[in-house]
Amino acid sequence: MAEQQFKREPAVRIFAQELSRIEMQLEKKDDGKGNRFTPSYCLSPTGARINRVFICGALTEVDEIDTQNASFVKGRLVDPTGAITIMAGQYQPEVAATLRYLSDKIPVFAAVVGKLNIYKPQDGGYYVSIRPEDLHVVTREIVDTWIGETAICTIERIKTLKELMAAGKYTEEQKAVIAVYNPQIDELKRMVRIAIGKEASNDYKPPGMNDGDGGVKKPATASNEQAKNSTSPPVTSPAAQTSAQEIKEPNIEAGYILLKDMCSLSEDGTVGGNAFADRLVQRKLASPDTAMTLVKGLMDGDMAYEVRMGRLKAV
């Protein structure tokens, strides 16, 4: 059987306000070919089908969080429409290190590519955050370019949604978007107008995005050299790509089976990330140096996800 490599899904440009409202996750389906690398998706209020996102804005907060199960770095990224949380843990060491480095330099303009994490506690509600795959400091010009491109993408989705609602003809996914979000076209259009500066938000002023004299520190930006070739979504660093490519299907497959077995024996259906990594080493599926890389490979291949920080569950 030919060895499979990771094929990354394109990142969707989406504003923080819409991103923070996403609660609908599509059930992962078998593609009929036994391919466990079939990506998982979320659906947004404008109907975007999302595997990963690309967002730019001002990084205004960085906090180090330690829990009983894990430690991670939390960041707050703000665009003109709202804010979204970034959560980098032991499976995102490069981004976590970058956030720590930036903690005494904020606010700074940043670009982030990552996957969504939607946590739904038993008492109701939901919390949306980004599991970052890459983060770069960028210039204000790059943020402005992203805002313009994202506005165009969002307007196109709104237009399609409006036409579908007028015609009353939907696919099953589109029906689900209408049922879950009850999208209000005028409200979605207003979000775009706020983003491009055509309308002021009465209830939200993003800190760090104010260029006037309102007492908000202007975010630092990257130099021209740092920003070179940064107009497109950041991609995973070559080192990270090499690490992912070194994990071939047999190890991923065996690791996935082991994770499923461990989850099935757990009371809550999850296992600790460190415990799973230790078991991978014990079973000789990975070395102590590559165990976490294999775990990250499972997550990048949409075969596992973090239910909460430090706890893994097989898909």
pLDDT in tens, 93-113: 899 999 999 999 989 999 999
Q: Across the chain, where does the E strand assignment appear?
A: 11-13, 24-25, 42-43, 49-50, 52-66, 71-79, 82-88, 108-119, 127-137, 271-272, 304-308, 311-314
Report whether 164 contacts 170 (CB < 8 A): yes
| pLDDT 10s digits, 137-172 | 999 999 999 999 999 999 999 999 999 888 888 888
- Give, in order, the Cα–Cα distances in Å from 207 to each of 58, 82, 111, 139, 212: 8, 10, 17, 17, 12
User: Does 119 score more than 90 pLDDT?
Assistant: no
What pTM did the predictor assign? 0.68
Rounded to an integer, what distance in angstroms lies between the CA atom of residue 276 and that of residue 200? 49
The gap from C-alpha 66 to its chain's centroid, in whole angstroms, comes to: 21
- Parallel/antiparallel/unpaired status of strands 42-43 and 82-88: unpaired
| Domains along the chain with CATH numbers | 1-236 (2.40.50.140), 239-314 (1.10.10)
| pLDDT 10s digits, 256-309 | 888 888 888 887 888 887 788 888 888 888 888 788 778 877 877 767 877 666
Q: What pLDDT band is residue 245 in, cutting at 50, 70 and 90?
A: very low
| Helix (H/G/I), strand (E/B), else coil: 35 | coil
**Average pLDDT for the chain:** 78
* CB atoms near residue 172 (< 10 Å): 6
